[in-house]
Copies of this chain bind each other. A is one copy, B any other.
Amino acid sequence: MSETATAPLQDHSDAAFDVFSRQCPSRGTLEHVTGRWGGLTLGALYESGARFNELRRRVDGVSEKMLSQTLHALERDGLVHRDAQLTNPPRVDYGLTPLGRQVAERLTALIELVEGRMPEVVEARARYDAAHGA
């Protein structure tokens, strides 16, 4: 799971876990965190804790099934906690654990950079398409 002697590019990390290695469990966690719905779910929960249906509206386009799977994977990884209150009807709130908060903070920094620089991305796409005859 750490660097191999034959790695063509240097690995500067001393960590025992290495996302570049396909067997490393950290790759699965990175995918939960950055996957299509995982990233948006963490980003939404970074703004505030929320109930399932609030999250579903915020993460525009997610299905009930996908949001449910996403929340389970994030809960299993210890990034999201599920807080069920014994009211009638029962009420379930989702929020970030301390580790989930740290992950979401870095993810949000990435999301904000991407959103803020989209004018450059849109320009680059137009240039690329013009050059490649699209």
Residues of A within 8 A of B (CB): 6-13, 15-22, 25-26, 29-31, 33-36, 39-40, 43-44, 47-48, 50, 54, 57-61, 75-79, 99, 102-103, 106-107, 109-118, 120-125, 127-129
User: Whole-angstrom distance between the alpha carbons of A114 and B110 in the complex?
Assistant: 14
Q: Please name the residue on chain B nearest to A62 by beta carbon.
A: B22
**What is the total number of copies of this protein in its complex?**
2
Taking each of A22, A57, A58, A115, which has the highest tally of chain B beta carbons within 10 Å of its own beta carbon?
A115
CB distance from A17 to the nearest CB of B (A): 4
Q: A25 with B57: in contact, given A47-B10, A47-B11 (CB under 8 Å)? A: no
Q: Are B33 and A110 in contact (CB under 8 A)?
A: yes
CB distance from A63 to the nearest CB of B (A): 12
Q: A112 with B13: in contact, given A20-B58, A39-B34 (CB under 8 Å)? A: yes
Q: Are A102 and B113 in contact (CB under 8 A)?
A: yes
The interface residues of chain B lying within 8 Å CB-to-CB of A78 are 120-121, 123-125, 127-128
The interface residues of chain B lying within 8 Å CB-to-CB of A75 are 128
User: Whole-angstrom distance between the alpha carbons of A127 and B97 in the complex?
Assistant: 15
User: Whole-angstrom distance between the alpha carbons of A128 and B54 in the complex?
Assistant: 24
Q: Are A121 and B77 in contact (CB under 8 A)?
A: yes
